[in-house]
Amino acid sequence: MGQLDYINHLLILLCIYLILAQSFNFAFGLGGLFNLAHIAAYALGAYCTAILSTDYDKSFFYCLGVSAVIAAFFSLLLGAIAIRLSQEYFAVGTLAFSAIVSSFLINWKSLTHGVLGIPNIPRPVIGQIDFYQNSNFLALLVGLTALIMFLFYLLFYGRFARDLKAQAENPYATMAIGKSVSSIRNDAFIISSVFASIGGSIFSYYLNYIDPSSFTLAEMVFVMSIVVLGKPGSFWGTIWATTFLVLLPEPLRFVQINASILGPMRQLLYAVILFLVVYYKRATIFPQKREV
């Protein structure tokens, strides 16, 4: 792998995780929705795109659109159950949902090829331009990520974000000023899942191959450590934390280390960082509730 390829690879990963982390930050950081099914939405996007583009030869925008719609549909379904519950039940419900999704990824062999995964996912072709070159793909992805980040910027600094923060801090006060807490939560949940599924689509286009092992709880812990390190609810914090954490384990690549423990080492690193951040920042990481 040439040096340029390596830098391209890192930048592409960075873009994918920016989308994934910022969408999680939106629901979790601003809205306090401890959504452990975020990776399930990511997986849905990745698998929809993989299946549509290999078995049905669908185009880039078609795949992205259908993935987003399916993720939105599933989050509506899950939202109907989970949104009304208290935080601990919400966490367990979303955890159960993500376990259902991964069980389907492993067992629905005719559709998802089970643990073998889906190989040979073609890179997108838009009009006359193909994105088989990593540099072309990176250009497309940077444009898309910039667009999504801009949308999130508007969302983070707009009126909806204030509603979302208000319901996280005090749902009763929010209801008292005539806002529907459950519809605010539902909207945030759907927005977050839709962007996660777009991140998943891009992930499967980039790797050309996906299997269920990319969508485990460890990945959820990684996304959570990004958001927690960048301070939950902070737009810019998530951006720098993504950059930092995606690049952090890269030196491990150049150390002589047994390849089989590289994955667990990476997981361990992120989990330890996550723990250290919540340990040292535990008093201030979530805003204290204000008296009404």
Is residue 92 at the binding interface for other proteins, with CB under 8 A as the rule?
A: yes
Give 120 or 284: the residue with its C-beta nearer to other proteins: 284
Task: With contacts defined by CB under 8 A, name the span among 40-48, 102-110, 145-153, 169-177 that binds other proteins.
Answer: 102-110
Is residue 82 at the binding interface for other proteins, with CB under 8 A as the rule?
A: yes
Please report, as residue ranges, which positions from 12 to 71 form the binding site for other proteins (by CB under 8 A): 32, 34
Is residue 188 at the binding interface for other proteins, with CB under 8 A as the rule?
A: no
Is residue 278 at the binding interface for other proteins, with CB under 8 A as the rule?
A: yes
Give 125 or 261: the residue with its C-beta nearer to other proteins: 261
Q: Which of 29, 79, 93, 199 binds other proteins (CB under 8 A)?
A: 93
Q: Torsion angle, CA of 212/274/15/189, rounded to 10 degrees?
A: 70
Is residue 279 at the binding interface for other proteins, with CB under 8 A as the rule?
A: yes
Give 4 or 100: the residue with its C-beta nearer to other proteins: 100
Is residue 104 at the binding interface for other proteins, with CB under 8 A as the rule?
A: yes
Please report, as residue ranges, which positions from 214 to 253 form the binding site for other proteins (by CB under 8 A): 216-218, 220-221, 224-225, 228
Binding residues (CB under 8 A) for other proteins: these are 32, 34, 78, 80-82, 85, 87-89, 91-93, 95-97, 99-100, 103-104, 106-107, 216-218, 220-221, 224-225, 228, 260-261, 263-265, 267-268, 270-272, 274-275, 278-279, 282-283, 285-286
